[in-house]
Homo-oligomer: A and B are copies of this chain.
Amino acid sequence: MAAPITAALLIIGDEILSGRTKDKNIGYIAEYLTGVGIDLCEVRIVPDVEDEIVAALNSLRQRYTYLFTTGGIGPTHDDITADAVARAFGVGIDHDPRAVAMLRERYQPHELNEARLRMARIPDGADLIENPISKAPGFKIGNVFVMAGVPAIMQSMLDTIAPTLQTGARMLAETIEAEGLAEGNYAAGLADIASAHPGVSIGSYPSFSTSGFRNQIVVRGRDPVAVARAVAAVQDLLHRLKSDGVPH
């Protein structure tokens, strides 16, 4: 099987780190990439500090097939992502005529002030990513995709980007409810199954609510046969434990 296609996600913004804004992009992007066969391997959230953004950009873009960023591409003084990306790549940055043309679709000439033109500052050599909602584009340079932080705009940019991405075999995931069984009861058997099925990864995920714990076992892998075999082994284990009347 071909090498997996990997990705990292870099969320840029003080407002996420202060807790003022609750991030809605991580879960969406994670699910989206998984769905198209790209493994999201790491996420970082950094503040609106250029040195921090540059360091994270350079660390992540060198490690993974793709790096996606969200946030910091608006018109205000705290929007410094484009400059940080230019610095990370060691390239210049200036008003991009293609980006200016996009902004002209939204703004009258007298509205296109210096602040709004900031949104047309694009690192040299980058390709633009369209923004159908507010026109100010994202961009791609090297293996880095720079997107807006506003979820609706980010989602639309991701739809634009997706067909251009190299994708791998889709990761399949099967969820098995461990109804009435506690993790501690199936953990040993599950570890044995995990060892015996090296082509898949098996996780056990408890959640807790007023009605108590609910445990789900998830089998993930790219080979449908291997996943099916591991799922059958897990179901067999749970069935055996229930028949034995193992305490919860």
Cβ of A204 and Cβ of B153 under 8 Å apart?
no
Binds B, one of A87-95, A138-146, A187-195: A187-195
- In-complex Cβ contact of A45 among B16, B43, B153, B188 (8 A): B43
Categorize the interface residue count of chain A. Answer: 35 or more
Within 8 A of B (CB), among A26-80: 26-34, 39-48, 52, 74-78
* Distance in angstroms between the alpha carbons of A33 and B16 in the assembled complex: 12
Q: Across the interface, do B183 and A76 meet the contact criterion of CB distance under 8 Å?
A: yes
Q: Is the CB of B41 within 8 A of A44?
A: no
Q: Please give, as numbers and ranges, the residues of chain B lying within 8 Å of A151 by CB-CB distance.
A: 208
Please, what's the 1-or-0 string for A148-175, where 1 marks a CB less than 8 Å from any CB in chain B?
0011110000000000000000010101
Residue pair B32, A208 in contact (C-beta under 8 Å): no
Q: Do B187 and A115 have beta carbons less than 8 Å apart?
A: yes
**Cα A39 to Cα B76 with chains together (Å):** 23
- A26 and B23 within 8 A (CB): yes
**Cβ of A127 under 8 Å from chain B:** no
Is A235 part of the binding interface, using a Cβ–Cβ cutoff of 8 Å?
no
